[in-house]
Structure 1
């Protein structure tokens, strides 16, 4: 079966999930809606768990296709805010898919595409660090941002549409981001931690360096200590 056919089947499964919930997604119901034999679906995905796992990967692919449309600007902090808003908007437009992506009942198991989403977030944060505006290491900022944005999105999904405070996400976004970044124009005597983070970000994105790998690793370890 072609990749296009597999993608079409997952799109059908996603429509059932969004319309009727996870309990309605089965190999039999998806096969019937897609116009194929149940045996063919079993060959592709195995049981219902395999189908849902593939659907989670498909959902991350949809999410990433939207994220990749975000063109970076000269203001990396503003780009962070735009990325936050796009994330929450995706969750509210695709609540059932979002629950499948981030509300897993199998702790510790994430679709491979989730790693790409994490990489994109770190890319945003590395740009903030590179201009000397990040207060904490990018990995720490990424963990805090991920926890905050998933919590807000799941909270909004759980509320009736007419009971959602449209300002909730914006307030959490601004509170979180303001706690992670410095003022737009850092003073000439910016703190050592900010300078260390900026240099570490520059090293991380520099490509080839006139240093041995062990020397690069040692330098980044020193910079990480100075940034704490």
Structure 2
């Protein structure tokens, strides 16, 4: 038995056998962790009602295997109310966290960014900035967030008027003048991102970079939450 209480959010739950769920939690203390919630599937218990996304919980787990047993769960604060696009974005944040975070990797930075993203979506904050800031936190934890201030080939500062090519696993490299017509990232946008500033141009750059950097982490299986943003066929 483990008497430690963990701060947690539900990322996903799925049926397990006839009466139970397997619940994927994102916890502050132990990162992503999965547990069996026994006997709650067909009940009207408080435990079942609490096992919903977007609510700050405290949980107690038991068991020595990777798949734990959920002993206790209680609410820390009310569920965060989300509707429409904000809800779809929060589902994307959950799915991204569940797909990318290694089991058992605790991260204060990603946990804080996760809570900030949910709160920003609840308060109708800028959706693009909210998603990019969370994606940056996730990439930083995975060691994949590039240095936005340095030309890695020449070990020189990024120039505001320069244009840069991004090489995965390496970083930004200034493009020669004779390649000015090729696709490149403006130095001004990279320097804005280095300062945490999201201008119209740096937003576009951040979106492209995050898409490319997250792709190998997500893998070939499409994210279900992205389908919610697609126009419905009539």
Q: Structure 1 length as normaliser, TM-score?
A: 0.26
Q: Which has the higher helix share?
A: 1
Q: Which has the higher strand share?
A: 2
Q: Structure 2 length as normaliser, TM-score?
A: 0.25
